[in-house]
């Protein structure tokens, strides 16, 4: 069974940093592209980061470019999202998503990041 379990969400002040983790199991993690998608309270979905299995290709939404870094450890089946210079508009549930042909076929349950003073 495919499982994606996010962790690391927390409350942080504006300008702060946070690192999210996603533990993957039930599939060969090293061969799949992985992603982070977020959802602000009461809002729709925003695809914010993508990383191929070989780490050669990545994508960032304009809203997080230069502030967030997606990375992975294929030996440990872990996906990360390093977030810095956090803003109030980064407040959201962050989902770890496996993708095939650019479509998210498995989603974690999400971890909440709250940015406020």
Partner 1 sequence: EVVMTQSPATLSVSPGERASLSCRASQSVNSDHLAWYQQRPGQAPRLLISGASSRATGIPDRFSGSGSGTDFTLIISRLEPEDFAVYYCQQYVASPLTFTFGPGTRVEIK
Binding site for partner 1 (CB under 8 A): 35, 37, 44-47, 50, 57, 59, 95, 100-110
| Residue 18: CB minimum distance to partner 1, A | 20
The sheet carrying 3-7 orders its strands as 3-7, 18-25, 78-83, 68-73
Give the nearer residue to partner 1 in terms of CB position, either 103 or 117: 103
Beta-sheet pairing, 58-60 with 68-73: unpaired
Give the nearer residue to partner 1 in terms of CB position, either 54 or 105: 105
Helices (H), the chain: none
| Residue 61: CB minimum distance to partner 1, A | 8
Matching residue, tokens 């499982």: 3
| Residue 99: CB minimum distance to partner 1, A | 8
Give the nearer residue to partner 1 in terms of CB position, either 16 or 104: 104
Question: CA triplet 63, 79, 29: central angle to 5 degrees?
Answer: 130
Give the nearer residue to partner 1 in terms of CB position, either 16 or 112: 112
| Residue 44: CB minimum distance to partner 1, A | 5
As a whole number of angstroms, the distance between CA 10 and CA 60 comes to 22
The answer to whether 39 and 92 are in contact (CB under 8 A) is yes
């Amino acid at each position: 069974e495919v499982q994606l379990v996010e962790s690391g969400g927390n409350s942080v002040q504006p300008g702060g940093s946070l690192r999210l983790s996603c533990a993957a199991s039930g599939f060969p993690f090293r061969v799949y592209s992985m992603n982070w998608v977020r959802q602000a309270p009461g809002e729709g979905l925003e695809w914010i980061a993508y990383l191929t299995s070989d780490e050669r290709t990545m994508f960032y939404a304009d809203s997080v470019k230069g502030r967030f870094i997606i990375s992975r450890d294929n030996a440990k089946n872990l996906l990360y999202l390093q977030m810095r210079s956090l803003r109030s508009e980064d407040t959201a549930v962050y989902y770890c998503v496996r993708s095939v042909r650019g479509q998210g076929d498995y989603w974690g349950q999400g971890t909440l990041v709250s940015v406020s003073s």
